[in-house]
Amino acid sequence: MGVALAATLGVSESTVSRMKTEQLENLLAFLYALGFKVVPQGKVCVDADELRMLRQTYARAVQCEQVAAQLFGTADE
């Protein structure tokens, strides 16, 4: 990872190593102060209002047996 990152940034591997050990925590704090979050590449972020709506929709769906069966299948399948 260090080699590829160094090549991408156009710096040496030792510079990347120093950045990780000396500056990473400050950089993450800087991004957080700006209102950003750092998440793994495989994760997907959604707006808090959208998440609230999805949770409410899910809660309603599972309360209705027919809707839950249509959305999620049944135990008999």
Residue extents of the structural domains in the chain = 1-39, 46-77
CA distances from 36 to 13, 21, 26, 68, 71 (A): 27, 21, 14, 35, 34
pTM (predicted TM-score): 0.48
Tens digit of each residue's pLDDT, the chain (77 residues): 789 999 999 999 999 999 999 999 999 999 999 999 888 889 988 899 999 999 998 888 888 888 878 877 765 54
What's the pLDDT at 66? 83
pLDDT of residue 75: 54
18's tokens: 């120093």
Classify residue 15 by burial, with Cβ atoms within 10 Å: 0-12, 13-18, 19+: middle
